[in-house]
Structure 1
């Protein structure tokens, strides 16, 4: 809208006034006549009322809940092409316009982070993790601040539990090649030993917005934390955009945003490792995060034996302590890291870790394979959980 110059505005009023004065002078000379000024005022009043009525009608029409795009109802979508080789499901209640805005935020966040954390591809407008790994040793590589954030989170998680180690990229990439092969086969044991390096985290140097790898043994792989971090980032951005509550799930990385408006519990299923339905039900009123690591999400079978995609950095081989572990905490990235670490530990060791660092977790193991009294048992599984979850988790009927 063009802004009217104050002087021209005053000139217009002066012009109208002058015309009215001339009309009055003319009429006084010509004798009595109809009062034109009153008619003019009435016309302006009628016109103003009409414009106001039209504006009010337009406003209330646009705000009408029944108008397309404004109807408030529960909406959900599953995105299958935003990266991380996983579907992303989002659910909330609101208008179509708001929902579409939220979906755009989710899409852009996952696509952006998928490229930044990619250890296998490069991109023209971003510095991916592959470029960090491919750089000559002792060469600082400037990266996006989100890469620094994930690495700092990973270093912190490693200090809590050394079973979580993003510097073991050589080892995890060796196993990835085995998983992706047309004919599944275990990597050569000598290659596994050569790829292991318990000291490689010390070869990762973070300074300002740069990462330096100081020896050939170190290579970064964010696969055990990237989805958790990205899901948390997407949830934070959604709330900044005005989302009051919603459900976000990226392949077992769940963020519950806000409290439900009907004050009902969030009800989340924890999957049966041998089926597509839920084995357990978790209930909570409060927003929180859940991340599950399991041997059923990605695995290969060799000679009738199942090998999960989660590699124990100490042994160099896939962990086999349980079928799944679900960690519940306020931060999704931390949940993701800790679920990976706990999957590589025995359940008794994991319980001690949870107690020390105030984590909640639930484990599912094949029946009779753990020397502990379970909290629940089925024909196939024994279920264990930390004390804080015993009033919130039930067996699904």
Structure 2
């Protein structure tokens, strides 16, 4: 008898989330999913910049004053951020979150150049001082932000929690960042629709995935339009201005954190992003500013 698939919805990290899992019944699915959801919430509480007691908030509060001791998990994520900075020619920079102080996408106003110029000296991963277990932000006002890979890391960890409990047919979806644990119970792949970045009620493609992860970055997730121009939330750390070449980039990779990093870097590299995606060796679907689709399956 093939098990049925149950969906357990929850909210986390500012997103609508779901665990879809093959189980004998709904109660069993919810019980197992609780462990994955608990892991997502642990990571959110530990690294959210919105929580004053989080690791990130403690690091940021100490900027310009003192170094902060970090545990192994945090050190590993900082090391990963360093690798992303290097592989993206400095475009993927977890100190660039401070630019949100100038960009208020709810207000729908493009910031004045002087507001950005005031913040740019606080952007620059190369300024951060690290050793084996500590991190120090040398200038008051500098900030770290794990938002560039936090959801993807949480999706991976939640999936690992499920795997440890013997789950073989499931996926964890955190606001569109999806990590898969095997195919459907009947052996078929999960078919995941890719959002049309200019029509929220339509998809442009369906990607079958059995294992690994699928994530998407796009200019439609959070943006404003002023005088006919779209300004999205993906900001170039060199100028503080939004990127504009890609409408969306989707990547399939073994891990969600890898897929998500690739989509963001491709967005940040703009026209050079396609070469980066080709070099990555991973499957992707990218839509440029003119609506042209590029893909490798």
TM-score of the two chains, using structure 1 as the length reference: 0.69
Contact 1:89 1:249 in 2 (8 A): yes
Q: CA deviation at 1:304?
A: 3.7
Distance of aligned partners of 1:384 and 1:197 in 2 relative to their CA distance in 1, 3 Å threshold: farther
Distance of aligned partners of 1:258 and 1:206 in 2 relative to their CA distance in 1, 3 Å threshold: farther
Q: CA deviation at 1:202?
A: 1.8
Contact 1:79 1:88 in 2 (8 A): yes
Residues 295-325 of structure 1: per-residue CA shift (max 9 Å, x gap): 1111122334321111111221111112101
Query: Which residue does 1:282 correspond to in 2?
Result: 207
Structure 2: distance between partners of 1:327 and 1:196: 30
The gaps in structure 2 that reach 5 residues or longer are none
Q: CA deviation at 1:206?
A: 3.2
Match status 1:147 vs 2:74: yes
Paired residue secondary structure (2:211): coil
Q: CA deviation at 1:213?
A: 1.4
The gaps in structure 1 that reach 5 residues or longer are 1-64, 66-70, 370-380, 390-397
Structure 1: distance between partners of 2:96 and 2:141: 8
Q: CA deviation at 1:72?
A: 4.3
Query: Which residue does 1:319 correspond to in 2?
Result: 243
Distance of aligned partners of 1:298 and 1:193 in 2 relative to their CA distance in 1, 3 Å threshold: same
Structure 1: distance between partners of 2:274 and 2:148: 20
Residue 86 (structure 1) aligned to one of 4, 8, 15:
15
TM-score of the two chains, using structure 2 as the length reference: 0.90
Q: CA deviation at 1:383?
A: 0.7
Contact 1:289 1:331 in 2 (8 A): yes
Match status 1:262 vs 2:199: no
Structure 1: distance between partners of 2:58 and 2:102: 18
Paired residue secondary structure (1:99): helix
Paired residue secondary structure (1:270): strand
CA RMSD of aligned residues (A): 2.3
Structure 2: distance between partners of 1:242 and 1:206: 38
Mapping of residues 23-34 of structure 1, within 5 Å = none
Residue 112 (structure 2) aligned to one of 188, 191, 209:
188
Match status 1:170 vs 2:98: yes
Between structures 1 and 2, the one with greater strand share: 2
Query: Which residue does 1:43 correspond to in 2?
Result: none
Q: Which has the larger radius of gyration?
A: 1
Paired residue secondary structure (1:323): strand
Q: CA deviation at 1:144?
A: 4.4
Residues 161-210 of structure 1: per-residue CA shift (max 9 Å, x gap): 122110223223432xx124xx3212221121222249721222333443
Paired residue secondary structure (1:345): helix
Structure 1: distance between partners of 2:115 and 2:34: 43
Contact 2:194 2:207 in 1 (8 A): yes
Q: CA deviation at 1:136?
A: 4.2
Residue 117 (structure 1) aligned to one of 47, 54, 68:
47
Structure 1: distance between partners of 2:229 and 2:278: 33
Query: Which residue does 1:350 correspond to in 2?
Result: 273
Q: CA deviation at 1:231?
A: 0.7
Structure 2: distance between partners of 1:78 and 1:344: 31
Match status 1:156 vs 2:86: no
Structure 2: distance between partners of 1:197 and 1:359: 35
Residues 349-384 of structure 1: per-residue CA shift (max 9 Å, x gap): 112112333233211134xx3xxxxxxxxxxx3211
Which moves more between the two structures, 354-363 or 191-200? 191-200
Q: Which has the higher contact order (CA 8 A, sep 6+)?
A: 2
Contact 1:168 1:197 in 2 (8 A): no
Query: Which residue does 2:285 correspond to in 1?
Result: 362
Structure 1: distance between partners of 2:77 and 2:6: 31
